[in-house]
Amino acid sequence: MPKLIEVRQLPSGGFVAIIAAAGVRIEQIADAARVLHVACVTGDLNAVESGQCVMTVKSEPKVEIIINRAAAARANVGFGTAFLMMIRQI
């Protein structure tokens, strides 16, 4: 079940993913995601392209999911083969 928490609460763990809200300091989220070995998901394509977050999802003009392979490897996060066939990897 999703829950809203403050960035300072991230080290407590217990998450399967971290969804970064708009306006958050992405560096703090990225560091916590790597330590906790969970995917950082964001709407910020630049954060994924720079390797700070693992995944971005956009819906306009069409749904597109983009994964940064290197960021996923650093966080020790894997994805199923079928999922990987439906997304774009960078």
The per-residue pLDDT for range 43-59, each reduced to its tens digit, is 999 999 999 999 999 98
| pLDDT higher than 90, residue 6 | no
Euclidean distance between CA atoms 75 and 90, whole angstroms: 15
Give the pair of three-digit tokens for residue 51.
């390797």
Tell me, what DSSP letter sits at residue 20?
A: P
Euclidean distance between CA atoms 9 and 40, whole angstroms: 15
The pTM of this model reads 0.83
Task: Report which of 12, 61, 13 is spatially closest to residue 38, judged by C-alpha positions.
Answer: 13
